[in-house]
Amino acid sequence: MEKDYIKLVAQNKKASHEYFFDELYEAGLELSGTEVKSLRLGKCSVKESYIRIIDGEAYILNMNISPYEKGNIFNRDPVRRRRLLLHSKEIRELSDGVSRDGYTIVPVKVYFHGNYAKVQIALARGKKLYDKRQSIAEKDQRRQAERDDKVRGLR
C-alpha cells in the first residue's frame, strides 16, 4: 500500500453550509483497537461533533464511532471524548482563534492517511442567513453552468 494513500471515512457536509473555514488543520486521533477496526469499515459520524480545548489539549466530543461487531468486551463508548493529536503551537493558535467572537472549531472530515486515522478540523466563523442564501445561489449557478456545458457537449 502506498504511503500517501488517503481513504475518506466520514465528511461533515453541514459544516461547509454553516461556517466559513478560516484555517484548516490535520490532527491525529487517539483511538482504541476496536475503534480503528470500526473506522476502517466506515462506521463513523461527525455531523453533531465539535471540538473543545480542555486543559491545554484538544478533544473531539460527540463523534460517533459505532461499536465493532466482533469487539465484545473491548468495545468502548461510541460517543466518548477522544483526544486529538496536535502540536502545542497549533493548540495555542486554535485557543486564541476561539477566544475571538463568532469563531469555533469544527471537524470537517475523518480519513485514513496511510495507516493513521486523521481528522481535518477548521477554525471556522459562523455564517449569517444571508451568507447561506448566497452560498446556495452560487451552487445553483455552478450546477446550471455545468448542465449547460454538458448539453452543449452532447450536441
pLDDT in tens, 119-151: 999 999 988 888 888 888 999 999 999 888 888
CA 5 – CA 2 distance, rounded (Å)? 5
Place of cell 461499536: 67
Domain boundaries, the chain: 6-128
Q: 77: pLDDT confidence band, cut at 50, 70 and 90?
A: confident
The answer, yes or no, to whether residue 109 has pLDDT greater than 50, is yes
Task: Evaluate if residue 155 carries a pLDDT over 80.
Answer: no
H helical segments located in 13-128: 13-18, 33-40, 88-99
Architecture of domain 6-128 in CATH? Beta Barrel (2.40)
Rounded CA separation 64/79 (Å)? 5
